[in-house]
């Protein structure tokens, strides 16, 4: 008889463990963002202009180079930093100078910023400078977005068209 009680006891313990695991798999409810909010993400990868201009080599400089490395121009590899700004309803929420990636500083700059905002209408402005100019911006877009609860709005940059995309 003690074997039957033991088996029944093991069954009750296992059943209690399964019930506990099943309960914890759906409770407490986890939400990545609070209710009645959405997420705006500013994310892109872009390479700015080179820091210096290409220089034409003289015939003497070309002759000094090994035959397999002779070239007509000497162009620096290092890229400029990107200056990026994001405004929401006239308030600046993000401003950064993004350095180029890579060991030689010749890779693209990268940005990924996430903003959780209450649902509603917003005037969004994003600006970027990727050239040598000291003031102003080379690329800019303003748009009014109607932000729904649990919406994901991605702001991306397309270098082939030279414009920001809101999707």
Grade residue 95 by pLDDT with cuts at 50, 70 and 90.
very high
Residue 26: predicted pLDDT: 80
Per-residue pLDDT tens over the stretch 18-70: 988 888 888 777 778 888 999 999 999 999 888 878 889 899 999 999 999 98
Per-residue pLDDT tens over the stretch 116-146: 999 999 999 999 999 988 889 999 999 999 9
pLDDT value at 2 more than 80: no
The residues that bridge with 37 in the sheet, in sequence order, are 118
Pairing of strands 152-158, 37-46: parallel
pLDDT average, residue stretch 64-91: 92
d(CA 155, CA 112): 10
Burial of 129 (0-12, 13-18, 19+ CB in 10 A): buried
Q: Where are the beta strands (DSSP E) in 11-131?
A: 37-46, 55-56, 73-74, 82-88, 91-98, 109-118, 120-129
pLDDT value at 90 more than 90: yes
d(CA 164, CA 72): 36
Residue 50: predicted pLDDT: 85
pLDDT average, residue stretch 93-113: 94
Using DSSP's 3-state secondary structure scheme, residue 109 falls into: strand
pLDDT value at 1 more than 60: no
d(CA 110, CA 43): 8
Residue 24: predicted pLDDT: 84
Per the rule left: phi > 0, alpha: psi between -120 and 50, beta: everything else, 150 is left
């Amino acid at each position: 008889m003690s074997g039957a009680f033991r088996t029944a006891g093991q069954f009750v313990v296992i059943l209690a463990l399964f019930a506990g695991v099943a309960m914890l798999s759906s409770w407490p409810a986890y939400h990545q963002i609070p209710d009645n909010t959405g997420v705006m993400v500013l994310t892109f990868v872009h390479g700015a202009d080179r820091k210096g201009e290409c220089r034409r080599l003289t015939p003497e400089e070309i002759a000094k180079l090994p035959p397999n490395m002779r070239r007509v121009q000497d162009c620096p590899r290092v890229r400029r930093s990107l200056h990026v700004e994001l405004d929401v309803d006239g308030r600046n929420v993000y401003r950064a100078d993004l350095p180029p990636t890579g060991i030689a500083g010749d890779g693209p700059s990268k940005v990924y910023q996430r903003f959780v905002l209450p649902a509603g209408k917003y005037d969004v402005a994003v600006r970027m400078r990727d050239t040598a100019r000291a003031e102003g911006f080379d690329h800019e877009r303003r748009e009014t977005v109607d932000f729904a609860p649990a919406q994901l709005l991605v702001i991306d940059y397309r270098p082939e068209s030279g414009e920001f995309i809101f999707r």
